Amino acid sequence: MNRKKCVLTVLLLAGLSLMTWSCTESGIGAPEESRDLVQAVRAVEDMTRPQNLRRSMFSAAYGDEGKPSDFVSYVFSDMGSAEWPPTEGSSEFDEVQREPSGGSGQTAIPAGVAILPLKTNPRKGPQVVVNYDDEAVEVVLTAYSNPLKGPVLERRVPFVAVEADTVAKQFFESNLQMGMSYRSF
């Protein structure tokens, strides 16, 4: 009988742990700052989706040979920064929300959350660090509510490079001719 109670207790605790993790991950019951960090991670993750990469100048620059390290370098470059989703509260965000279609369909970056390449910045508040693992072929997104403490969320996003569509190729060539960079490191 004691063994049965022990097994039931373990199953109950495992279920509660999973439910708590799911709620925190989705932002349910989490502090506002945590919801903002989850949203910021989703905003960057959206940029890695193949349907979005097809329309990106990144794919025009690297084609299907692009690696996660190339992507991270690109998104913080002159060209890449032009493709970021809007930040909530910015004039660009307000304009996108007034569009007849109801917006761009992109997940907005919450105001007050910094998106940074490769490492934390102790002088910034809540932040998402965008890094890469070329060996695992993943973009690594790590969220910090306080950069002086450990991460509160890490998401490893599988990266699939794709060929660019015609419009992305044209934009890339035009921006390259104007001297814009597509690498930040």
* Helix residue ranges, H only, 27-47: 32-47
| Alpha carbons 64 and 59: distance in angstroms, whole number | 7
pLDDT digits (tens, 9 = 90+) for 15-60: 444 444 444 444 444 445 689 999 999 999 999 999 999 999 999 9
Residue 32 has a pLDDT of 54
| pLDDT of 92 above 60 | no
Residue 57 has a pLDDT of 97
Q: What is the mean pLDDT of residues 164-168?
A: 97
| Alpha carbons 59 and 169: distance in angstroms, whole number | 8
Q: What is the pTM of this model?
A: 0.77
Q: For the beta carbon of residue 48, count every other beta carbon within 10 angstroms.
A: 22
Counting residues of the chain whose pLDDT is more than 70, the rounded percentage is 74
| Residues in contact with 19: Cβ distance below 8 Å, sequence separation at least 6, in sequence order | none
Q: What DSSP designation does 86 have?
A: P
pLDDT digits (tens, 9 = 90+) for 114-147: 999 999 999 999 999 999 999 999 999 999 999 9
Radius of gyration from C-alpha coordinates of the chain: 20
Query: Which element (helix H / strand E) includes 21?
Result: helix 2-26
Q: For the beta carbon of residue 167, count every other beta carbon within 10 angstroms.
A: 12
Q: For the beta carbon of residue 25, count every other beta carbon within 10 angstroms.
A: 14
| Alpha carbons 159 and 166: distance in angstroms, whole number | 21
| Alpha carbons 94 and 161: distance in angstroms, whole number | 31
Mean pLDDT, the chain, integer: 83
